[in-house]
Amino acid sequence: MKNDKKDQKKKYSKLSSLVWAMKKLARLDKLFVFFIFATVPVAVISPLVKSLFSKTLIDEIGAGKSFQNLVITAALFISAIFALELLQKYIYSRCKARRYYPTTIYQNEMGRFQNYETDFENTEKQDFKELCGYAWGDACQGNCAMEFLWEDLSNTLINLFGIVTFASFLLVLNPIVFAVIGVTSVLAYITTSWQPKYFEKHKKEWEKEERKKNYLQGLSDDFYNAKDIKLYGMENWLDKMMRDYQAYLLMWNKRCSLRGFFASALAGLMSFIQNGVVYVVLIGMLLEGEISVGDFVFFFGLAGGIAGYLQGIITDVAKLGVRADKIAYYRDLFGYESRFNRGQGCALPEGPVKIELKDVWYKYDGAEDYTLKGVNLTIEGSESLALVGVNGAGKTTLIKLICGMYTPTKGEILVNGKHIGDYNIEAYYSMISAVFQEIRMVAFTMFEFVASADLERETAREDAIAAMKAAGIWEKIENLPNGMDTHLQKGIYDDGVDLSGGELQKLVLARAIYKDGSILVLDEPTAALDPIAENNLYLKYRELTAGKTSIYISHRFASTRFCDRIVLLGDGVIQESGSHEELMAQNGQYAYMFGVQSKYYKEGEINA
């Protein structure tokens, strides 16, 4: 598995990744690409002009030129420097204004791909998750490979261009000087890369601890955890543990920074040698009368500049290599294969929908055992089905398959006689109204949250109100400051409110009712509701499911009483199927479970 991944990464060469990213960038923002390259000439010419200025002035003073002459020289050079400075300021400001902009777009594209475009199943796979982790880890503002490419590229060009230009002025010098500058620059680069290398090499020894330290340091930020910590008196233990991890990490910080110190000191030594040689050579030439004092100043400045460019270019090339590897993650991510049909699909069925599962097996990514082991099930159009079973029996997996979230590992699912894959998956989703167990508040308004599936509907607002009424949440929402235009979730928008678990459950029910899909799936929709609210849903259930194919999952066996058929899932297969009366008569697992739950509701003594 590991080797496969390595091979896959090699399928993109570094250069092709850089080109891929540049193309993407150019598509997003051509102006930006123009300005990136516009920085190059100005960045090289400016220091040259400044060096030339000092040289000229010193030479002219030395030559005993008149004050007027000097004034003219200074005026000319300073005007030139001012003009260049303005130009540079402008170009850089354009780059800076636009630099984070592409990242915001990449981030949205990635989020869209991950949360919407790719198969849901992919998002639960380990390798996909790792890929997302890498890509998102890189895609933060301030370090995004796609975004900082411009800086690296223009820096590389500046350095390259700088070396060529400066070197052409220094040709008069002894080639030994070049050799010394070259060698010391490379050595300085090697010494400065010492600490990062040490860091990379030993990273593993503290990565885990760092994660733990961060977890502990942030533990009280989330007041929910803080409450439990207080109730169970865990403060001191957690504090001590955090202190231990902090101390461990500090030890590594010291080790790393010690290397940093030595590297820095050695780099200092390199520049000691480099400058020493340059001084000796230049002073020698000066004493021989080959160059003027102005030349001395000029050449010394250029030599330092070249050394900087040399180190810069080594760093840039290394950086570009790293960026290219990071960009490969994005390419891998966007190239991740989906199995559902996202192109042209067959027409959606009109009227009731029949669902057939034929010998469906399902195994989760990385799991050893199958969760579903050959499920055969036909749900007739307009049939109302109750799905029961113990925790871990595979109920939720089954409905995720039906909802087009997973594809069967073996076997097939037919919807009105056609394979799910024959439909365009987005069109298929449009038939489904589902309430899943996990409910996440999103900072939409109540109306948007309920109506997001179809905001364009002409009667959207009336329908949303009707759905909220049916779900028993309208009374609460009506009384909010902005009614159903109040935002969900505190701390995002000013009018945001948090709903309780029971209220949220009603809200997601309203959403399913609003969507009015021909397949209705409810997974534990009453877990947080009180008996009266629960009963209200039961009483309305027939009305809600009229003309729809529906599946109801619940641990509350009361819910099975108003469904046409009950299917008991156990151990990955359908163990029992039939009406409540039939299954009670069978006296199997269903009858047992029903008995267990109902005994407390029956009159008389309870024998545990």
Partner 1 sequence: MRKYSITRKALRVYAAYNPKYFPLLFLQTVFNNLAPYFNLWMSAEIVTALYEARSKEEIYRLVLITLIGNLLIRVIGAALTRSVSTQLEILNNNEAAAFNRKTLSLDYEKLENPDIRQHRRNIKENAYINYYGVVHMRMGVGFILKDLISIVFALVLFVEMVSLIATIGFGWGSILLLVLLVASVTMNILCQSRHSKKVGEAWNEVGKLMLDENRLGRGYDLNGMDNRIYRQQLMMDKVSIATSKRHLETFTFANNTDVKYSIPVMFFQRLSEFVSYLIICFYCVLGAFPVGAVIKYVGYLANLTGSIGNLFYYMQEMEVNEKFLQVYLDYFDIKNDMYQGSLAVEKRSDRKFDVEFKGVNFRYPGAKQYALKNINLSLNVGERLAVVGMNGSGKTTFIKLLCRLYDPTEGEITMNDFNIRKYDYRQYLDIFSVVFQDYHLLAMPLGNNVASAANWDTEKAERLLEEVGFGERYSEMTKKLETPLYKNFDEDGVNISGGEAQKIALARALYKDAPFIILDEPTAALDPIAEAEIYARFDEIVGDKTAIYISHRLSSCRFCDKIAVFHEGEIVQVGTHEELLQDECGKYYELWNAQAQYYTT
For residues 580 to 599, the per-residue mask of contacts with partner 1, x marking binding by CB under 8 A and - elsewhere, is -------------xx-xxx-
CB closer to partner 1, 124 vs 160: 124
CB closer to partner 1, 18 vs 521: 521
323, 400, 548, 565: which one binds partner 1 (CB under 8 A) = 400
How far is it, in rounded angstroms, from Cα 59 to Cα 53? Answer: 10
Residue 90: Cβ within 10 Å count? 12
How far is it, in rounded angstroms, from Cα 478 to Cα 500? Answer: 16
19, 172, 176, 390: which one binds partner 1 (CB under 8 A) = 390
Which part of the chain contacts partner 1 (CB under 8 A), choosing from 37-45, 149-157, 227-235, 350-358? 227-235
> For residues 479-518, which are near partner 1 according to CB under 8 A?
489-493, 498, 500-503, 511, 515
How far is it, in rounded angstroms, from Cα 605 to Cα 599? Answer: 9
41, 111, 352, 588: which one binds partner 1 (CB under 8 A) = 111
> Residue 215 to residues 221, 239, 402: CA-CA distances in angstroms?
10, 12, 38
Which part of the chain contacts partner 1 (CB under 8 A), choosing from 271-279, 373-381, 414-422, 463-471? 271-279
Check: CB of residue 238 under 8 Å from CB of residue 244: no
Check: CB of residue 583 under 8 Å from CB of residue 590: yes
67, 201, 204, 366: which one binds partner 1 (CB under 8 A) = 67
CB closer to partner 1, 359 vs 582: 582
Check: CB of residue 379 under 8 Å from CB of residue 355: yes
Query: Nearest approach, Cβ of 385 to partner 1 (angstroms)?
Result: 17
CB closer to partner 1, 17 vs 554: 554
Which part of the chain contacts partner 1 (CB under 8 A), choosing from 12-20, 151-159, 314-322, 450-458? 450-458
DSSP 335: T
22, 58, 183, 414: which one binds partner 1 (CB under 8 A) = 58
Query: Which helix (H) or strand (E) is 299 found in, with range?
Result: helix 293-334
| Nearest by Cα to 141 from 93, 103, 102 | 103
Query: Nearest approach, Cβ of 354 to partner 1 (angstroms)?
Result: 20
Query: Nearest approach, Cβ of 38 to partner 1 (angstroms)?
Result: 15
Which part of the chain contacts partner 1 (CB under 8 A), choosing from 19-27, 164-172, 280-288, 462-470? 280-288
8, 126, 179, 235: which one binds partner 1 (CB under 8 A) = 235
15, 179, 258, 317: which one binds partner 1 (CB under 8 A) = 258
SS3 607: coil
Query: Which helix (H) or strand (E) is 410 found in, with range?
Result: strand 410-415
How far is it, in rounded angstroms, from Cα 417 to Cα 124? Answer: 29
End-to-end CA distance of the chain: 51
Contact partners, residue 106, CB within 8 Å, separation at least 6: 139, 144, 146, 147, 330
Which part of the chain contacts partner 1 (CB under 8 A), choosing from 74-82, 158-166, 362-370, 540-548? 74-82
CB closer to partner 1, 169 vs 444: 444
> For residues 190-209, which are near partner 1 according to CB under 8 A?
208
CB closer to partner 1, 107 vs 482: 107
Which part of the chain contacts partner 1 (CB under 8 A), choosing from 161-169, 311-319, 351-359, 402-410? 402-410
9, 30, 230, 342: which one binds partner 1 (CB under 8 A) = 230
For residues 404 to 423, the per-residue mask of contacts with partner 1, x marking binding by CB under 8 A and - elsewhere, is xx------------------
SS3 569: strand
Contact partners, residue 435, CB within 8 Å, separation at least 6: 505, 508, 509, 511, 512, 521, 522, 523, 525
4, 228, 288, 475: which one binds partner 1 (CB under 8 A) = 228
Asked if 571 is part of the footprint of partner 1 (rule: CB under 8 A), the reply reads no
How far is it, in rounded angstroms, from Cα 380 to Cα 415? Answer: 10
| Nearest by Cα to 313 from 207, 202, 166 | 166
> For residues 287-326, which are near partner 1 according to CB under 8 A?
287, 293, 296-297
CB closer to partner 1, 8 vs 257: 257
How far is it, in rounded angstroms, from Cα 566 to Cα 584? Answer: 11
> For residues 238-257, which are near partner 1 according to CB under 8 A?
238-243, 246, 249-250, 253-254, 257
DSSP code string of 33-88: HHHHHHHHHHHHHHHHHHHHHHHHHHHHHHTT--HHHHHHHHHHHHHHHHHHHHHH
For residues 326 to 365, the per-residue mask of contacts with partner 1, x marking binding by CB under 8 A and - elsewhere, is ----------------------------------------
| Nearest by Cα to 329 from 145, 469, 80 | 145
Contact partners, residue 200, CB within 8 Å, separation at least 6: none
Asked if 49 is part of the footprint of partner 1 (rule: CB under 8 A), the reply reads no
| Nearest by Cα to 33 from 160, 146, 184, 123 | 146
Total interface residues for partner 1 by CB under 8 A: 157
How far is it, in rounded angstroms, from Cα 165 to Cα 363? Answer: 63
Query: Nearest approach, Cβ of 394 to partner 1 (angstroms)?
Result: 13
> Residue 40 to residues 30, 47, 85, 95, 325: CA-CA distances in angstroms?
17, 12, 13, 12, 25
CB closer to partner 1, 1 vs 608: 608
Asked if 34 is part of the footprint of partner 1 (rule: CB under 8 A), the reply reads no
Residue 457, CB half-sphere, CA atoms under 13 Å: how many? Answer: 17
Asked if 427 is part of the footprint of partner 1 (rule: CB under 8 A), the reply reads no
Which tokens in the block code for residue 236? Answer: 């001191």
For residues 523 to 562, the per-residue mask of contacts with partner 1, x marking binding by CB under 8 A and - elsewhere, is ----xxxxxxxxx--x----------------xxxx--x-
19, 86, 347, 546: which one binds partner 1 (CB under 8 A) = 86
Asked if 1 is part of the footprint of partner 1 (rule: CB under 8 A), the reply reads no
